Amino acid sequence: MNTFSVNNNGVWFRSMSNKGIVAWVLGVILTGFYVLLYFFPYLLGQGSGGAPNTGIIALFDPLSYALKGKPASQWFLYGTLYTVAILGFGVKFLRKYRHNKYEILRTISVMFFQLGFAFLLPEILQKLNKPYYDFKNMWPLNYYFFDAYSLEGYLSSGTIGLFMLVWGLLMIFVISPILTYYFGKRWFCSWVCGCGGLAETAGDSFRHLSDKSIKAWKIERWVIHSILVFVVVMTIGVLYSYVYDHPDKLLVTRNYLTITFLTVLALAGVFIGSSFFKGIQKADRRKALIAIGAIMALVVVAHLGNQKNILFIDNGLLRQWYGFFIGAIFSGIVGVGFYPILGSRVWCRYGCPMAAILGVQQKLFSRFRITTNGGQCISCGNCSTYCEMGIDVRAYAQKGENIVRASCVGCGVCSAVCPRGVLKLEGSAFDISDRVLV
Amino acid sequence: MNIIILGNGISGVTAARHIRKQSDHKITIISSEMPFFFSRTALMYVYMGHMRFKDIQPYEDDFWLKNNINLLQTHIKDIDFEQKHLLAENGDQISYDKLILAVGSKPNKFGWPGQDLDAVHGLYHKQDLDAMEKHSKGLKKAVIVGGGLIGLEMAEMFLSRKISVTFLVRESDYWRVVLPEEESKMISRHIKHHGIDLRLSTELKEIIDDGSGKACAVITDKGERIDCGFVGLTAGVHPNVAFLKNKGLNIGRGIQVNEFLETNLPDVYAIGDCAEMLAPKPGRRPVEAVWYTGRMMGEVVAHNICGNKKSYHPGIWFNSAKFLDIEYQVYGHIPSDLPKGTETLYWEHPDGAKSIRINYDSNSRVVTGFNLMGIRYRHDVCNKWLSQKANIETVLENLSLANFDPEFFKTYESDVLALYNQQTGKSLQPKRKRSLTSVLSFLKSK
């Protein structure tokens, strides 16, 4: 039958999409795969100490040689499967949403960025003996950007290395805020990002499993912002270590570094604290300022005490913990492994520090919002149900209020499934400070 | 003050929420249907597996406790308006200081033989949904009677379970009593395109008993017998007022209320589907059984009970629906047959599944209504044009302000303008591109 609206028939009846046995089996398989990948790569056939690959990984050797002239690794295997998943399920998504041009363009975009920017380009760079670099990724999602080995890589790779370093900084401090101002965080989270790309395509069958309760929203805000604070502290520590350990490598001295940190943090504080930007509640503003103040205090204490370690424990250890608990367990094992049980955007919603930063920007100063069309809402709940971020869209729509939420990744599915044409993703600079109000 | 609200649909619940916003009165909502408020319009999506029943409940279960709104699930047998109390089925007397009747509608049955057989149902209550679910097991074929919104929703529900549907429609085309001919034909085509056996100009004559008290076939007015395992009766609704008659409450088609939604009895109000306006505003009908008016009445009655007297002004008519894949929106007055003195500009996409209609007055050229199929328009913009009595040409030149389709969708406002130019020999040009900034500044302007 040739239909032209989104077909969600039977979504809650199928074992796969309603946490049935099939879903649990898939969850266990996915989780198991991540455990092997992160902790037991030799079981996947990863050769160590120069030994050739065997098993599954060996199957990917030919492709790896073709791309970069080196044998495959578990990360090459992962990258290839990840890309295949986004492309394959992307095609499925394109079919399901074929009558919605926004969804079509957005999906082609995530497929393109995954294949070109996340997969092919970094491999080609490696072939050319340049550092591995994903130009669309940025700190803090790319938390190893400021690691010693990354910095060494950029600094020892001539002009292109320097460009990578500058590009990375520009992405964080200039390009992403500007794009978020114009388009909301969706420009990254649902058009470009690889985690988002996988969630939107392979995870689409599980988007409705996100928890919509007010309690989940509370937990979300605490967890995601705690991780943001953690990654900031960890990164400051890692940079301090680098400067301490390589006093003559950079023009940057410890003094410079401290001044830079304090300046950036103070700016962020003024920015968030200033009442010019509406949209954040007083209590949340206070919490943010306390967190920023605490980090600044840590920087000052470390500096005055001539301490290398920011949290009185080895910075390297902090970095290891972050990589293990957040980078591996949260974003991989829980984030993707639990797709069939917790929904597709668990990492993006509760964990991703990049999403946290872009979310604050979106809430404070973006043109973006989801407009509610006057009084046309019938409170049916399709929008809330299919919101992968667990936003209770209906709660706003039925009151005729626009939706401006830090977590909204702008996937557009609420608007696509609304049977009354009530929701529209759009932007304007006309009323940024009071776009929350009707 | 002790306020009892009878009915926990959108009207009653909106009234309760707004009374709570404005006061600390004791509020009790009574319903026999379900313990918590749910979106009646979304029942179909539960059957189709788009949502679970709990997903169509707009508020979390503890919302009511948090807001100190008492919920009582019981059936009210009788009301004593003189003693100001209600009689529940278990014999309890429930007294009130103010009573809001928000008792909704009942599906119409026109005395068809067999209309009360098993496997014959309307689609109104949660219980109807449960019945549909029960009878769907092994069901191959359903017959639906009544050419309106609910009938088509029911058809879509059965289609989602691969149950074939014959749809009996009395009129010459689907929903022709409301839709103009072109739109009506468009939806008729669309219904057939989905594989529904649409029988136009066909009425139900009789429902046949299979011998066990269950429906097994229908006979149409053409004498044809159609075998089926389920009969859907969706020939509209009427106010649920039978149990309130002869108690001193003035009842016409519905419970009669003045502009403050007060009945003839002191401290008794009626809102939503069951209310009949004694003096409806121009262009509005006395009984309007739609979601949106129920919500607006709930808000108004809350003001009146809390002492901020306010009359009911529903404003300019709007409504929306979805016919299988085709979304429908209407703003203002679009009669099914064009009255004298009104002109219409009707544009239809070559795919036959999208259209834009704008009606305007022949003399003053003031726009009177918008009718959209498969294209979303902005409520606030249309409303402003209609309330400001905007000229058709102003509207056409600025039509992109009204477009509410998602980003990147193809827009057709210039085609509509071109059609007008072609019909009138004028050469109007579009004045704007689609942009939210233009919309916001238009809405803010005087």
Domain boundary pick from A173, A208, A243: A208
A359 occurs within a structural domain: no
According to DSSP, residue A350 is labeled I
Through-space distance between the first and last CA atoms of chain A, rounded to whole angstroms: 40
CA-to-CA dists, residue B375 to B62, B215, B325, angstroms: 38, 40, 11
For residue B320, give the nearest of A385, A420, A428 by CB distance.
A420
* Confidence bin at A3 (pLDDT 50/70/90): low
> Which residues pair with residue B358 across a beta bridge?
B345, B370
Q: Return the C-alpha torsion angle A155, A158, A160, A165, nearest 10.
A: 20
Phi, psi values for residue B343, rounded to 5°: -110, 160
Residue A244 lies in a domain: no
The helix-helix angle for A74-96 and A61-68 (nearest 10°) equals: 90
| Residue A235 contacts residue A146 (beta carbons within 8 Å) | yes
What does the DSSP 8-state code read for residue B53?
A: G
Most B CBs within 10 Å: which of A3, A12, A19, A436, as the mutation test of the B interface? A12
List B residues 45-104 in contact with A (Cβ-Cβ < 8 A). Answer: 45, 48-52, 55-58, 60
SS3 A367: coil
- Note the pLDDT tens digit of each residue in B56-98: 999 999 999 999 999 999 999 999 999 999 999 999 999 999 9
Give the residue from A379, A386, A418, A430 with the most B CB atoms within 10 Å of its CB, the best one to mutate: A379
**Structure ipTM:** 0.96
Residue B219's closest CA among B192, B189, B199? B199
Distance CA B221, CA B338 (A): 30
Nearest CA in chain A to B63: A214
Per the DSSP assignment, residues forming a β-bridge with B214 are B118
Comparing B2-106+238-305 with B120-174+183-235, is the CATH topology the same?
yes
Question: Strand B2-6 relative to strand B26-31: parallel, antiparallel, unpaired?
Answer: parallel
B44 CA: distance to closest CA in chain A (Å)? 10
Query: Would you say residue A88 lies in a domain?
Result: yes
Q: What per-residue confidence (pLDDT) applies to A438?
A: 40
Nearest Cα residue to A315 out of A246, A232, A241, A252? A241
| Contacts for B412 with CB less than 8 Å, ≥ 6 apart | B347, B349, B354, B356, B375
**Structural domain range at position A372:** 368-434
Pick among B45, B153, B354 to test the A interface (most A CBs inside 10 A): B45
B195/A379 Cβ within 8 A:
no
Residue B48 and residue A10: Cβ atoms within 8 Å? yes
| Strand (E) or helix (H) holding A36 | helix A21-39
Annotated domain spans of chain B: 2-106+238-305, 120-174+183-235, 318-444
Domain final residue, candidates A151, A178, A208: A208
Pick from A122, A113, A33: nearest CA to A76: A122
In a domain, A118, yes or no: yes
**CA dihedral of B277, B278, B281, B283, whole degrees rounded to 10:** 80
- Picking from A392, B227, B131, the residue whose alpha carbon sits closest to that of residue B219 is B227
Residue A277 lies in a domain: no
The residues that bridge with B80 in the sheet, in sequence order, are B85
- Closest residue, chain B, to A1 (C-alpha): B194
Supply the pLDDT for residue A275.
Answer: 74
Q: Is the pLDDT of residue A276 over 80?
A: no
Query: What is the overall mean pLDDT for chain A?
Result: 93
CB contact under 8 A, A425 and B404: no
Q: Do residues B386 and B368 make contact, with C-beta atoms less than 8 angstroms apart?
A: yes
| Distant-in-sequence, close-in-space partners of B291: CB < 8 Å, separation ≥ 6 | A378, A379, B10, B40, B41
Contacts with A241 (C-beta within 8 Å, 6 or more apart), sequence order: A148, A308, A309, A315, A316
In this model, does residue A333 exceed pLDDT 50? Answer: yes
User: Helices A194-201 and A101-112 meet at what angle, rounded to 10?
Assistant: 130
Name the CATH architecture for the domain at B2-106+238-305: 3-Layer(bba) Sandwich (3.50)
pLDDT tens digits along A287-327: 999 999 999 999 999 888 888 888 888 989 999 999 999 99
Q: Which residues pair with B369 in a beta bridge?
A: B332, B359
Q: Per-residue pLDDT for A278 more than 80?
A: no
One-character DSSP codes across A92-126: HHHHHTTT-HHHHHHHHHHHHIIIIIIIIHHHHHH
Q: List the structure tokens of B42.
A: 């979304």
Q: Pick the closest to residue A298 from A245, A256, A261 (CA basis).
A: A261
Instruction: Return the closest-CA partner of residue B359 out of B326, B322, B316.
Output: B316
Q: Do B58 and A394 touch (CB under 8 A)?
A: yes
Q: Which of A189, A208, A227 is the last residue of a domain?
A: A208
Give contacts of A380 with chain B, Cβ < 8 Å: 39, 41-42, 45, 51, 56
Residue to mutate among B59, B376, B400, with most A CBs inside 10 A, is B376
CB contact under 8 A, A430 and B437: yes
Contacts of A371 in chain B (CB under 8 A): 404, 436
At A250, list the tokens.
Answer: 């950079």
Hunting for tokens 């926004």 — which residue is that? A102
pLDDT at B359: 98
User: Domain B120-174+183-235 falls in which CATH fold?
Assistant: FAD/NAD(P)-binding domain (3.50.50)
What's B318-444's CATH class?
A: alpha beta
Report the C-alpha gap between A417 and A6 in whole angstroms.
6
Q: Look at chain A and report how many structural domains it folds into.
A: 2
One-letter amino acid for residue A79 of the chain: G
B51 and A382 within 8 Å at the Cβ level: the answer is yes
pLDDT at residue B53 in the model: 98
CB count in 10 Å sphere of residue B247? 13
Cβ pair A213:B380 closer than 8 A: no
Among all residues of chain A, which has the CA nearest to that of B383?
A: A374
Cβ-Cβ contacts under 8 Å, A5 against chain B: 322, 324-325
pLDDT confidence tier of residue A274, bands split at 50, 70 and 90: confident
Spell out the per-residue pLDDT of chain B, length 446, in tens: 999 999 999 999 999 999 999 999 999 999 999 999 999 999 999 999 999 999 999 999 999 999 999 999 999 999 999 999 999 999 999 999 999 999 999 999 999 999 999 999 999 999 999 999 999 999 999 999 998 999 999 999 999 999 999 999 999 999 999 999 999 999 999 999 999 999 999 999 999 999 999 999 999 999 999 999 999 999 999 999 999 999 999 999 999 999 999 999 999 999 999 999 999 999 899 999 999 999 999 999 999 999 999 999 999 999 999 999 999 999 999 999 999 999 999 999 999 999 999 999 999 999 999 999 999 999 999 999 999 999 999 999 999 999 999 999 999 999 999 999 999 999 999 998 899 999 999 999 98
Residue in A closest to B162 by C-alpha: A9
In a domain, A353, yes or no: no
Alpha-carbon span A296 to A258, nearest angstrom: 9
Note whether A1 contacts B195, CB cutoff 8 Å: yes
Dihedral sign, Cα of residue A345, residue A349, residue A354, residue A360: positive
> Which residue matches tokens 């069939």?
A340
The full DSSP string for A260-275 is HHHHHHHHHHHHHH-T
Predicted local confidence at residue B432, as pLDDT: 87
Indicate yes or no: CB of A9 within 8 angstroms of CB of B49.
yes
- Give the 3-state secondary structure of residue B71: strand
Query: Residue A1 pLDDT more than 50?
Result: no
Question: Which residues in chain B have Cβ-Cβ distances shorter than 8 Å to A101?
Answer: 406-410
pLDDT score at A282: 85
Give yes or no for a contact between A188 and A196, defined as CB atoms under 8 angstroms apart.
yes
Cross-sheet strand order for the sheet of B355-361: B318-323, B326-332, B367-373, B355-361, B342-348
The confidence score (pLDDT) of residue A280 equals 78
Q: Return the percent helix, strand and coil in chain B, to nearest 5.
A: 30, 30, 45
- Cβ–Cβ pairs < 8 A, chains A and B: 138
Q: What is the pLDDT confidence band of residue A168, given thresholds at 50, 70 and 90?
A: very high
Q: Which pLDDT value is given to residue A311?
A: 86
Apex A320 CA angle, A314 and A325, nearest 5: 130
Give me the phi and psi of B355, to 5 degrees please: -155, 155
Q: Do B406 and A374 count as a contact with CB atoms less than 8 A apart?
A: no
Between residues B311 and A51, the one the model is more confident about? B311
Residue A194 included in any domain: yes
Q: How far is A398 from chain B (nearest CA, A)?
A: 9
Provide the terminal-to-terminal Cα distance of chain B, rounded to the nearest Å: 42
Residues whose CB is less than 8 angstroms from the CB of residue A88 and which lie 6 or more positions away in sequence, other chains included: A201
> Token match 């005490």: residue?
A305
- B199-to-A30, A174, B166, B230 alpha-carbon distances in Å: 51, 63, 7, 17
pLDDT at A2: 45
Cβ neighbour number for residue A381 with a 10 Å cutoff: 27
Quote the CA–CA distance of A231 and B63 in Å, as a whole number. 36
Task: State the amino acid at position B192 in one-letter form.
Answer: K
Q: How far apart are CA B230 and CA B154, in angstroms?
A: 11
Q: A391: domain CATH number?
A: 3.30.70.20
> A229 pLDDT exceeds 50?
yes
Amino acid at A51: A
Q: Which of B75, B71, B58, B82 is nearest to B27 (CA)?
A: B71
Tell me the one-letter amino acid at B319: N
Question: Chain A residues with CB inside 8 Å of B432's CB?
Answer: none
- How far, in Å, CA of A379 to CA of B37, rounded? 11
For residues B27 and B271, give the distance between their C-alpha atoms in angstroms, rounded to a whole number.
16
B-chain residues within 8 Å CB-CB of A428?
435-437, 439-440
Subunit contact B407:A425, Cβ cutoff 8 A: yes
Q: Which SS3 state, helix, strand or coil, does residue B327 take?
A: strand
Nearest to A421 among B295, B320, B437 (CB): B320
* Residue of A108, A187, A380, A382 to mutate when probing chain B, most B C-beta within 10 A: A380
3-state DSSP of B90-143: CCCEEECCEEEECCCEEECCCCCCCCCCECEECCCCHHHHHHHHHHHCCCCEEE
Interface contact A379-B329, CB threshold 8 A: no
Q: Which of A376, A358, A356 is nearest to A368 (CA)?
A: A358
Domain assignment present for residue A33? The answer is yes
- pLDDT-derived band at A49 (thresholds 50, 70, 90) equals confident
Residues of B within 8 A of A11 (CB-CB) are 49-50
Do the chains contact at A376 and B353, CB–CB below 8 Å?
Answer: no
